[in-house]
Amino acid sequence: MLELKGVSRVSGGQTHIHPTDLVLRKGTMNVLLGPTLAGKTSLMRLMAGLDAPSAGRVFWDGQDVTGVRVQDRRVAMVYQQFINYPSMSVFDNIASPLRLMGRSRSEIDRAVNETAGMLKLTPLLGRKPLELSGGQQQRCALARALVKGAGLVLLDEPLANLDYKLREELRLEIPRIFEASGAIFVYATTEPEEALLLGGNTATLWQGRVTQFGPSTRVYRQPADAVTARVFSDPPMNFTPCRKEGHRLRFGHGVQASADGPFARLPDGDYLAGFRANHLHMNVHSGAALEFRCTLGVSEITGSETFLHLTHGPDRWVALVHGVHDLPPGGEVSLWLDPAHVYLFGASGDLVAPAAYALAA
C-alpha cells in the first residue's frame, strides 16, 4: 500500500502540489486525470521519490520512505517519450535493469521471457527497437519497467505520442497487463475517456489539488464539485445559472423544469446547473426535454459527430451531437436537454444534487 499523508511540493515560491492525502492499495489501477500543468507529473515524482515533499510523509506498506532514494524503492516509471536503447535487442533492453541488479543469467532469462510473453513481445526479442512499430516500442519500454517486479508502476501519459490505432490497442492491453502484474499502477492522462476505459480508481487534479478520488465511474457520475465535473468531461461540462422556486427550476429565457427527483429536497435559491456536451441533442429525446435556443459560433465536423460551439445568453456551451451538421455561423439553433442529465452545484461549487440518471445507473 502506498500512502501520502499531507504531502505537498513547493519550488521557487510556486506551489506545485497542495497538501494531499491519498491511499493506493496493492493490485489497483489508479488514474491521475487533469489538464496539462494540473500537477499529475509532480504528484508521480513525489510517489516515486524523484522529488522530496516540502511537507508531509510518504509510506510504503506502513514504512516511512520519505527520505529513501528512488533507486532503493520498488518503483518503475514509463514516460510519454518512451526510451529504449537503440543498439540493443528487445531482449537486452528488457534485461538491462536486471543485469544492473546483478541477477543470474537463468533468473534474467526466465523473467525476460515471462514479461515478454505478458506483453506479446516474444517473437520480437531478437529485433532492435527501431525495427518495431511505435506500439511495440512502447510495450518494450513498459516491459523493461515491469521486469523488475516493481510494486509501484507509474505511467506518465504513455500513449500520448502514439497514433489513434496504437493508442486504442494499448488501452485495451494495459488493464490485462495490470491484472497479471499485481502491482499498484498509477496512470496519468488528460483524457476522461481514457480514465473510464482503464477502470479502477480516478483522482481528478486541478491546479495542484486532488479534488476527488474514488472508483472512476462514481467520480464521473457523481463529481464532488463543479471543478471535478469540468475536469471529468470532454469537452468540459457546460454551466448555466439556475434558480429553484417551489416546485420549479428556472434556467432563464423562459426555460423551466419540474424540481422533482434529487432536486425536490433543495431549498429555494440560486444554483449552478451543469450538463455534459453529449447530453444536448438537436431533436427531442424525451417528453420532459428542455429547449434551449442558442446562437451558433462554429461547428466542427469530426466524421460521425459534430461539435457545436454555442452561446446561450452570457454562457458559452459546447454540444456534441451525432451526425454531420454543417450549419452557418451566427444562426439560431435549438438544443434539447433531458432534465435527468442536469447536475446542480451550490454557491461554493459543491455538488448539491446529482443528475437523476447518475443515481439510477
Taking each helix axis as running N to C, give the angle between helix 164-181 and helix 134-146, from 0 to 180 degrees, rounded to the nearest 10.
Answer: 20
Structure-block grid coordinates of residue 335: 438544443
Question: Do 194 and 265 lie in a common domain?
Answer: no
Q: Are 269 and 243 in contact (CB under 8 A)?
A: yes
Q: Helix or strand or coil: residue 353?
A: strand
Percentage with pLDDT > 70 across the chain: 98
Give the number of domains in the chain: 2
Which of the listed residues 194, 226, 258 is the one where a domain comes to its end?
226
Residues 165, 246, single domain; the answer is no
pLDDT at 222: 96
Give the whole-angstrom CA distance, residue 94 versus residue 113. 9
- Co-location of 216 and 244 in the same domain: no
- pLDDT higher at 266 or 100: 266
Residue 246 sits in the same domain as residue 321: yes
* β pairing state of 63-64 and 55-60: antiparallel
Residues 185 and 293 in one domain: no
| Alpha-carbon gap, residue 31 to 13, rounded angstroms | 28
290 in the same domain as 214: no
What domain range includes position 304? Answer: 235-360
Place of cell 458559452: 316
> Taking residues 195-221, what's their average pLDDT?
96
What per-residue confidence (pLDDT) applies to 210? 98
Asked if residue 206 has pLDDT above 80, the reply is yes
Residues 224 and 82 sit within 8 Å (Cβ to Cβ): no
Look at strands 343-345 and 351-353 and give their pairing.
antiparallel
Residue ending a domain, choose from 226, 259, 281: 226
More confident residue, 301 or 160: 301
Q: Are residues 156 and 278 in the same domain?
A: no
Q: How far apart (Å, rounded) are the C-alpha atoms in residues 175 and 198? A: 6
Per-residue pLDDT reduced to its tens digit, 275-296: 999 999 998 777 689 999 999 9
> Domain containing 92 — which CATH number?
3.40.50.300
Instruction: Examine the pLDDT at 175 and tell me if it is beyond 90.
Output: no
Alpha-carbon span 105 to 126, nearest angstrom = 17
The reported pLDDT for the residue numbered 159 is 78
CB 107 within 8 A of CB 98: yes
pLDDT band of 117, cuts 50, 70, 90: confident
Query: CA–CA separation, 134 vs 100, rounded Å?
Result: 26
Q: Are residues 168 and 245 in the same domain?
A: no
Whether 178 shows a pLDDT value over 90: the answer reads no
pLDDT tens digits, one per residue of 56-95: 999 999 999 998 988 888 898 888 777 789 999 999 999 9
Q: Say how far apart CA 19 and CA 41 lie, in whole Å.
A: 16
Q: Are residues 303 and 207 in the same domain?
A: no
Q: Average pLDDT in the 37-42 region?
A: 96
What are 103-112's contacts with CB under 8 Å, separation 24+? 111/147, 111/149, 112/147
Look at residue 142 in the predicted model and tell me its pLDDT. 83
Residue 269 has pLDDT above 80, yes or no: yes
Position 340 scores a pLDDT of 94
**Residue 118, pLDDT score:** 80
Give the phi and the psi of residue 31 in degrees, each rounded to 5.
-100, 130
Q: Which helix (H) or strand (E) holds 47?
A: helix 40-48
Domain check: are 192 and 288 in the same one?
A: no
**Picking from 89-93, 143-147, 225-229, which range would have the lowest pLDDT averaged per residue?**
143-147
Distances (CA, A) of 343 to 255, 301, 317: 16, 28, 15
Indicate if 81 and 180 belong to the same structural domain: yes
Mean model confidence pLDDT for the chain: 91
Please determine, for residue 201, whether its predicted confidence score (pLDDT) is greater than 90: yes
Residue 160, pLDDT > 80, answer no
Whether residue 159 is found in the same domain as residue 194: yes
Arithmetic mean of pLDDT, 257-271: 94
CB-based contact 277:352 (threshold 8 Å): no
List, edge to edge, every strand of the sheet that includes 152-156: 75-78, 152-156, 184-189, 29-33, 201-206, 209-215
> Which amino acid is located at 199 in the chain?
G
Examine the fold and report which residue of 193, 226, 259 is the final residue of a domain before the chain moves on. 226
The alpha carbons of the chain give a radius of gyration, in whole angstroms, of: 24
Which CATH number covers residue 333? 2.40.50.140
